[in-house]
Structure 1
Amino acid sequence: MKKKPLILVTNDDGIAAPGIRALIEVMKEIGNVVVVAPDSPQSGKGHAVTIDATLFCNRINIDDQVTEEYSCSGTPVDCVKLAVNELIKQQPDICVSGINHGSNSSVNVIYSGTMSAAVEAGLEGIPAIGFSLCDYSWDADFDAVKDYVRTITLNALENGMPKGVVLNVNFPRLGRDEIKGVKVCRQANARWAQEFDKRTNPQGREYYWLDGKFVNLDRGEDTDEWALANGYISVVPVQFDLTAHHAIQTLNSWKLND
């Protein structure tokens, strides 16, 4: 009998979020699940780690879906670090993060706690996937993408992952029958045009609310943004070696030792 894979599940929306509960439901069909996730929302935390405060981790049981589930006071990256180094007695066969409430396509991958958790698992040598649905509502329809989550995860387990790579998977906000399929893409060239709403509190102290507009500068039809806008699921292979290899030759032409 084939041994079931050990699957680490985490997210950045918090352990009680509907997205992670949907992900757990799918993963239970595939293997043995251990959940280590934040006890509160941690969206936009990127690859932050807790170094100036204590971490608390409590074993809990939310809905009897899993036998081993932990709620952590830290960031998504803290959750993966704790899981790998303290809580799990063996290395997981795969780590899945999400399903995030909202898009993590294009430049959003930099800010995403969901994807940072996957990247941290990748750094530990664990195959990892971040899943996100382009719907920020708490009651988003995750049922529409469960079959795709299952298929992508099974493919990663069966085929292995390229070395130094994790997957950034984004689902369009569409019904099950409206999704056209899956496209392997590159990350679109886009940015956030930042705006700050400046206000004054009753004590006369100025404060700011961060706001902004997403600007897609990329007109290519091989990007994640194009895929999502045209009814496809985007799968982007993300590397955590941040070296700009193409720039090394240029920098070597500078007179750095003069």
Structure 2
Amino acid sequence: MKILVTNDDGIYSPGIAALAKIASRFGEVRVVAPDVEQSSMGHAITASRPLFYKKSPINFEGIEAYRVNGTPADCVALGSHLSPIDVVLSGINMGSNLGNSMWHSGTLAGAKQAVLLGMKGIALSTPAGKSEPDFNALEPFVEKTLALLLENPDLKLINVNFPKKPVGIRWTRQSVRQYDGKVVPGTDPLGRKHYWFTVVPLEPAEEGTDRWAVDQGYVSITPLRLDLTNEKELFQAIQKQPVA
């Protein structure tokens, strides 16, 4: 199995090093990641300037690794162009990608780009705090999760979130309860106004969702799809207002 590992935290992130190491137990691994952090870039692609790749400045313990002056989606497109790939692993992101945060996740975009190009895509994330996540402690659950997902040919696009201290694994659905986009004003050292954009959940997570699972200490595995069509509303519209 040929595996491409990418992320949105950048080539220097400890999360991508941990994922590449574990992924090497399942196949031949190549790392292609952004040269700088690209968090919350969503599915942006670079179309207005050329892309370049260079060998990674850090050692991935024998794994071929490159940095790209682009987004996670760019890295997947370029990495799969260089040679054939079977599956893309994106992460391990330092920061959860749960519920509606999937919409702007650069980590998930890497997995989505894989599916758009005909490959399997798996996004992996874990909460970030004042200190870096303990990737050594997460390793057994990352390996178990990859074994579960890589052996299932029916799953094409999957979003995985690890709590800080997992106690088990759960299949989940996306939490779609309303989120509040909050702008927090501040002042820089020169007295100039600046603003931080943050997202705060307005309601508690409903049981069976990704947010609920991580809150309960479970690894959340959510199968996704690229088709955003709302079949229920489409059917209702056709029934009420058929068009010629």
Change (3 A) 1:105 1:198: closer
Structure 1 residue 118 displacement after superposition: 0.3
Which amino acid in 1 is paired with 2:53? C
User: 1:136: how far off?
Assistant: 4.1
Q: Identify the residue that residue 225 of structure 2 maps to in structure 1.
A: 239
Match of 1:63 in 2: 59
Opposite residue 157 of structure 2, the aligned amino acid is V
Q: Give me the whole-angstrom Cα distance separating, in 2, the residues matched to 1:216 and 1:235.
A: 23
Which of 46, 51, 57 is residue 50 of structure 1 equivalent to?
Answer: 46
TM superposition score normalised by structure 1: 0.86
SS state at 1:97 partner: strand
Question: Are 2:132 and 1:139 aligned?
Answer: yes
What residue ranges of structure 1 are gaps of 5+ in the alignment? none
Question: So what's the TM-score if we normalise by structure 2?
Answer: 0.90
- Structure 1 pair 134–202 and aligned structure 2 pair: CA distance change class (3 A): closer
CA distance in 2, matches of 1:200, 1:152: 43
- What is the letter of the counterpart of residue 180 of structure 1? V
- After superposition, residues 9-158 of structure 1 pair within 5 angstroms as 9-60=5-56, 62-85=58-81, 87-88=82-83, 90=84, 92-137=85-130, 139-158=132-151
- Kept in 2, the 8 Å contact 1:93–1:157? The answer is no
Match among 155, 164, 170 for residue 183 of structure 1: 170
Provide the aligned length of Structure 1 versus Structure 2. Answer: 244
CA contact (8 A) 1:196 1:209 kept: yes
Over the matched positions of the two proteins, sequence identity in percent amounts to 36
Q: Deviations over 1:43-92 (max 9, x none)?
A: 0000000112222211235214234211000000000011112x12x2x2
Q: 1:226 to 1:216 in 2, by over 3 A?
A: farther
Structure 1 residues 208 and 184: alpha-carbon distance in aligned structure 2, compared to 1, 3 A threshold: same
- In the alignment, does 2:162 pair up with 1:171? yes
Counterpart contact for 1:191–1:216, Cα < 8 Å: yes
The 5 Å alignment of 1:187-198 reads 187-198=174-185
Distance 1:138 1:219 in 2: 25
1:248 and 1:233 map into 2 onto residues whose CA distance is 33
What one-letter code is carried by the residue in structure 1 that aligns with 2:177?
A
C-alpha RMSD of the superposition: 2.4
Measured against aligned partners, the alpha-carbon deviations of 1:103-150 in whole angstroms (never above 9, x if no partner) come to 001111111100010011011121121110112456220112111221
CA contact (8 A) 1:118 1:128 kept: yes
Deviation at 1:211, TM superposition (A): 2.9
Contact kept, 8 Å, 1:34 with 1:66, in 2: the verdict is no
